[in-house]
Structure 1
Amino acid sequence: MAQAVAEGVLVLLLAYATAFGETITIAHFPYYSFKDRSRMYSVGSLFYAIYFFVSFPMFYRMDEQPRAKPFTLWRAVVDALAAGMIVTCLLDFWRIGIGGIVDRQDAASSGLPWMP
C-alpha cells in the first residue's frame, strides 16, 4: 500500500513539474500573454498537469511490464481513447467545480469563451 501511495505521489509531482516547465517555456514565446502570470504558473500548471496525471501511468502500463501480455494496436487505441475521455472528464469537473483562474469581465456572455 505504501508503495502505491509513493508511486501516486511521484506521478503527481512529475506531472506538475512537467506542466510547470512547459508553462514557463511557453511564457517566453512572444505571442502569448497572461493576465495573471503567477496564477498561470501555479494554478494553470496544475490544470495542465491533469493531462499528465492520466497519461504517465498509461505509458508506464504500455512500456514497463515486459511479462504482461504485449499491447496490440487495438489495446493501445482503446487505452488512448480511455485516457482521452478521463482527461476530458477531469477537465470538465475542474471547470464546473473550480472555474477559471482569472475573473471574466464579460460574465453576461453565453459562458463559452469562443462565442460572444
Structure 2
Amino acid sequence: MSTSESTKSLLGQVQRAARRVERAGRGPAEQRVGIDKVVFGVAGLIAVAFIVWGFASPDSLGTVADAALAGVLQNFGWLFVIAATVFTIFVLVVAGAGSARSPWARTARSRSTRPPPGSR
C-alpha cells in the first residue's frame, strides 16, 4: 500500500469515526435532557433528612459526625497527607518554574517597575 493510499484509508476511517461520534452525540429522540428527577429527589431527601436530624437531635448528629470524622482520619489520614503534599509541590512548581520564562511574568514585572501614569 502506497503512502497516498494509506493516507486516504486513514482519512476515510477518521471521517467514519467522526460521523459515528456525531450520531452518538445526538442520541435517541426520546432521550431525556435536563435534571434527573429521581437522583435530584433522593439527594434532596438525604439533605433534608440531615437538616431535620440536626434540628431534632443535635447531640446525636454531633456524636455520629464525630465518629465518622475519626474513622475517616484514622483510616484515610494518609491520603490527606499525600494529597496535600502533592498539591503543595504542584503549586510551588507552577509558581516558581515558569516565572523566568513566562511572557506574562515579564510583562507583570515590567509593569510593576514602571512609575504610574502621570507621576512624571
Q: TM-score range by the shorter chain?
A: under 0.3
Identify, as 1 or 2, the structure richer in helix: 2
Higher relative contact order (CA 8 A, sep 6+): 1
Q: TM-score, normalised by structure 2?
A: 0.25
Rg larger in 1 or in 2?
Answer: 2
